[in-house]
């Protein structure tokens, strides 16, 4: 029954964001992992009712890519392009396969400084948020987007130093709200899949020890609005993007990809229906 209402829920989510939906033309940027161009799926020009919206952002003081690539962050080859575009397209294919959402096969990079673009997408994703450099202007736009009904999945944040920095930047967005542990009974963990047992999802480079930096314990943290709606979902000490990116790689453990895909699908459906 939940999935039958998906199409209507998409429309409701867009109304809550306060804009009319007009899907933006596809654009692609150079990636730190995949270079300047990736093969496009055959149906890349076909519109969909949901698009994987990847948040573009400048690097911050902990940015491990700073100075390694030429050009501004607005043109790619920077921190926000980690796992991009393969993770985005693999996850979009999973959304299409596991739900009744007509997911577009290609992603959309979204710049908070680009007019009202972000309001076209009820669900946005950002990678390595413990190393980003969110500005005050971007934070104000993100705040407005979330309070209008948007959903932000923040991923690939590892260790106490990165956690503290991400928390600091989110205080710039919501000084009156705290990041808290998302309880097991939160609807976000039961929208499609019942995630009663969540496991740490390590990145591909950290499979041997299972964690990065001092992030030995996984956490799922969030920020709620006044009505108890989850607006921000942080995957702390897990790399969900890698679980999407390498789901078809025989050397990457299937249990991690299963967890990452189920979590992501739940967040997409939650963002559409709450």
Calpha distance 171→55 (Å, rounded): 18
The 8-class DSSP code of residue 43 comes to T
- Which residue ranges make up each domain of the chain? 3-273
b vs e for 4-30, b when ≥16 Cβ sit within 10 Å of the residue's Cβ? eebeebbebbbeebeeeeeeeebebbb
Q: Mean pLDDT score of the chain, rounded to an integer? A: 91
Rounded Cα–Cα distance for residues 97 and 181 (Å): 30
| Residue matched to tokens 């995949």 | 34
Which sign does the torsion angle of CA 69, 72, 73, 76 carry? negative
Residues above pLDDT 70, as percent of the chain: 91
pLDDT at 13: 46
Nearest to 105 by CA among 53, 43, 54, 49: 43
104 has a pLDDT exceeding 50: yes
Banded model confidence at residue 2, pLDDT cuts 50, 70, 90: very low
On the question of pLDDT at 90 being above 80, the answer is yes
| Superfamily covering domain 3-273 | Domain of unknown function DUF4159 (3.40.50.12140)
Joined together, the tokens standing for residue 197 give: 């047992």
For the residues 245-262, what does the mean pLDDT come to? 98
Nearest of 22, 21, 6, 91 to residue 54 by alpha carbon: 91
- Output the six-digit token pair for 62: 């902990």
d(CA 250, CA 39): 21
pLDDT band, very low/low/confident/very high, at 68 (cuts 50, 70, 90): confident
């Amino acid at each position: 029954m939940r999935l039958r209402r998906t199409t209507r829920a998409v429309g409701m989510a867009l109304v809550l964001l306060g804009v009319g939906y007009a899907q933006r033309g596809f654009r692609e940027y150079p990636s730190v992992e995949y270079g300047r161009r990736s093969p496009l799926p055959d149906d890349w020009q076909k519109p969909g009712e949901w698009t994987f919206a990847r948040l573009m952002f400048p690097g911050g003081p902990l940015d491990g890519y700073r100075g390694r690539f030429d050009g501004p962050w607005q043109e790619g080859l920077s921190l926000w392009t980690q796992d991009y575009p393969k993770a985005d397209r693999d996850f979009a294919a999973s959304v299409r396969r596991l739900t009744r959402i007509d997911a577009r096969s290609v992603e959309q990079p979204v710049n908070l400084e680009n007019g009202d673009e972000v309001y076209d997408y009820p669900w946005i994703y950002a990678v390595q948020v413990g190393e980003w450099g969110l500005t005050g202007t971007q934070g104000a736009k993100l705040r407005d987007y979330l309070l209008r009904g948007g959903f932000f999945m923040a991923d690939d944040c590892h260790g106490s130093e990165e956690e503290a920095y991400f928390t600091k930047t989110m205080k710039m967005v919501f000084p009156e709200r705290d990041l808290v542990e998302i309880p097991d009974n939160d609807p976000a963990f039961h929208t499609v899949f019942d995630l009663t047992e969540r496991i740490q999802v390590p990145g591909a480079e950290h499979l041997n020890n299972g964690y990065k930096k001092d992030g030995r314990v996984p956490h799922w943290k969030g920020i709620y609005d006044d009505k108890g709606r989850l607006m921000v979902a942080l995957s702390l000490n897990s790399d969900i993007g890698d679980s999407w990116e390498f789901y078809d790689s025989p050397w990457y453990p299937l249990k991690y990809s299963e967890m990452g895909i189920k979590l992501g699908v739940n967040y997409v459906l939650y963002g559409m229906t709450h």
